[in-house]
Amino acid sequence: MSNSRLAIVVGLILTAGLCVEVSARTVSIEVDSRKGVGLIPAFWRGVAPSGPDDISRDRVTWERIDPTLVVASWQERIGGGGPGWFTLNKAIDRARAEGRRVILTIPVAAAPNEDDVWRKRVSDTVKRTFELVDRYELSADGVEDIGRFLRYYESGAWAAYQGHHKAVIGGPGADWKRDLIHPFIRHCVERSLPLGFVSWHVAVTNVADPLDAYHRVESAIDAVAPSSRPEALVSKWGLADGAADPVYLTCGALRYLLGTELAAACIDPGTSPWGAPAFKAFNELGSVQIPMTVSHEGVGGVASMEGDAVLLLLWRKHDTGPIEANLSLSGMRWGRAYDYERVMIQTGKAPPRAIEKQSLRAVDPLELTFPIPAGRATLIRIVPE
C-alpha cells in the first residue's frame, strides 16, 4: 500500500473514532438558599438487619429486630430460658444500649396452630421484653390467608396487652402492594382492636415507591377513619430482587422518604447493597432542606443547609452517559469568602473523599460546573470561611 493510501486510511480511522466519542450531557441544577422547605427528619435512619452488614450504627434511630430471633426463642418452653432467648435479648439490649428505639416483629407465619399457645407465646414475649421494646409488630409477612392473619392479629393484640397494658401494637408488616392494608385497618376499627401503628414493607423498583406506598396507606387510614389515628411505619424496605442501578434507586428512595411523615423507616441491608454508602451520604446533609430543581430526570439530589453552609448531595442513573452539572446557587452573600469542596462518597467504611477544593468569593447567583460520575454519590460543600 502506498504512503498516500495509508495516510488516507489512518485519517478515516481517526475521524471515525472522533465521531463515536460521547460528549457529556449538560444538566442544569438550581438551588435557592433563601428558602427552607423544612427540617430534614431523623426517622429514615432505621435498620432492619437480617445478618451481618456494614451500615454504621452511628446516628441510627430505629432497629427492627430480626424476626428469626423471635422464632428461635419460641423453640423453648414458655416462661423458660435458653440460647434462643439469650440471643434475642442480646440483640435488643445492644440496640437500646447504643441509643436506638426497637421494633420487635412477631411473625404470624410462625404462630402455633393452637390459639391458646399462640396467645401465651405473645403474652410471654411482651412480658419479657416490654421495658426495652418501643413497638410490637404482628406481621403478615409470609401469610397468604388474609382471614387467618386477621384472626391471629385479633387474639395476638389482646395477648400483647396481657403481657403489658402499655404495649404499642400494630401491623400488618407486609408488602404494600398486597390487598391487605385497607381490610386490616377496617377490621381493627370494626372490632375495636389495638392499633398503635400501621406498618408495611417496600421492595423498591422505582424511586417513588416509598412515597406511593405512604400515600396509599394514608388514604386507607382516611377511608376508615379510626377514632385515634395510628402512626405510619415502614418496618422494612430495600431493593426488589433483580433491581439494577442500586445507587440511583437507594438514594432516590431515601430522597422520597424525606417527603413523608413516617414514625420510622428501616432499611434491610441484605437487599440494599448500596445501603451503607447511602446512609453515609445522607448523614452529611444539613438539618434544613432547601429547594432544588434538576433539568434531567436521570439525576437526583437533595439540597440542605447547616447554619450558613450549603450541602448538596447528587447522584445519577448509571446508563445516562457522561454528565456535567451547571449549578446555580441563589441567595449567597455577595463577596463573602467560602470554601468549596467536591466530595465522593465511598463504599465500605472509608470516609468521604474530597477530590476538588478551592476558595471562592460569592456572587448571586453563584455558578459552578462539575461532573457527576456514575456508581457513586457526589457531595458539594460550600462553607463560609
pLDDT confidence band for 79 (50 / 70 / 90): confident
Q: Is the predicted pLDDT of residue 322 greater than 90, yes or no?
A: no
Is residue 103 within 8 A of residue 135, CB to CB? The reply is yes
Looking at residue 139, its pLDDT comes to: 98
pLDDT tens sequence across 138-185: 999 999 999 999 999 999 999 999 999 999 999 999 999 999 999 999
- Cα→Cα distances 296→46, 139, 244, 245, Å: 30, 40, 19, 17
Q: Judge contact between 194 and 230, C-beta under 8 A.
A: no
3-state secondary structure of 66: coil
Convert the pLDDT of each residue in 204-245 to its tens digit. Answer: 999 999 999 999 999 999 999 888 999 999 999 999 999 989
Label each residue of 218-238 as H, E or C: HHHHHHHCCCCCCEEEEEEEE
Give 105 or 50, the one with higher predicted confidence. Answer: 105
pLDDT, one tens digit per residue, over 266-295 is 999 999 999 999 999 999 999 999 999 999
Cell 448500596 belongs to 274
| 24-37+287-384: CATH class | mainly beta
Whether pLDDT at 2 is above 60: no
Helix axes 246-257, 209-224, angle to 10 degrees: 30
Tens digits of residue pLDDT in 172-185: 999 999 999 999 99
Residue 19 has pLDDT above 70, yes or no: no
**Sign of the C-alpha dihedral, residues 358, 359, 361, 364?**
positive
Say how many C-beta atoms besides its own lie within 10 A of residue 113's C-beta.
6
**Domain range annotation of the chain:** 24-37+287-384, 41-282
Query: Are the folds of 24-37+287-384 and 41-282 the same?
Result: no
What predicted TM-score, i.e. pTM, was given to this entire model? 0.90
Please tell me the CATH code under which domain 41-282 is placed: 3.20.20.80
